[in-house]
Amino acid sequence: MVLIAFSGMASAAMDHSFIEGPFETGPQVTVKCITCHPDAANEMLDSAHWNWAGPTPDVVGHETETTIGKTNVINNYCIAVPSNEPRCTSCHVGYGWKDSTFDFTDKTNIDCLVCHDGTGTYKKIPTGAGAV
């Protein structure tokens, strides 16, 4: 799939119309994004949103742990992530998280468009591990 529409992707406060495609892959779009927004990429890699785990200071019995999150608990939405990654990642802000080999340190795995697309046409394959 070729990702062509890009200019409407970011917040209204910034003009991104100078960015031109086509882009062959989502990670190619991310590379373009992080050339101007490297801090945003670093912040994402450190976030609980990206890692699906984070600090738990208000959870009784887990006040000092930092590894509780969607990846290692049972929940009432999708039950559990392990073995279900391809479906969970159809909305997650990453590309290619299909199993435990996913590289959470690779900035090109961040899907900027899943949140910042302004066209209303961006979507991922429902069971495609973040594929577009």
Q: Report pLDDT for 19.
A: 86
Mean pLDDT of the chain: 77
Q: Environment class of residue 128 by beta-carbon count within 10 Å: exposed (0-12), middle (13-18) or buried (19+)?
A: middle
Could you give the angle at the alpha carbon of 2 between the alpha carbons of 19 and 11, nearest 5°?
A: 40
Share of the chain above pLDDT 90, in %: 21
Question: Under a CB-based contact definition with an 8 Å cutoff, are residues 51 and 94 in contact?
Answer: no
Most confident listed range (57-61, 87-91, 107-111, 113-117): 107-111
Helix axis angle, 26-36 to 38-45, nearest 10°: 110
pTM equals: 0.73
Residues 93-105: what's their mean pLDDT?
Answer: 84
pLDDT band for position 2 (50/70/90)? very low
Share of the chain above pLDDT 70, in %: 70
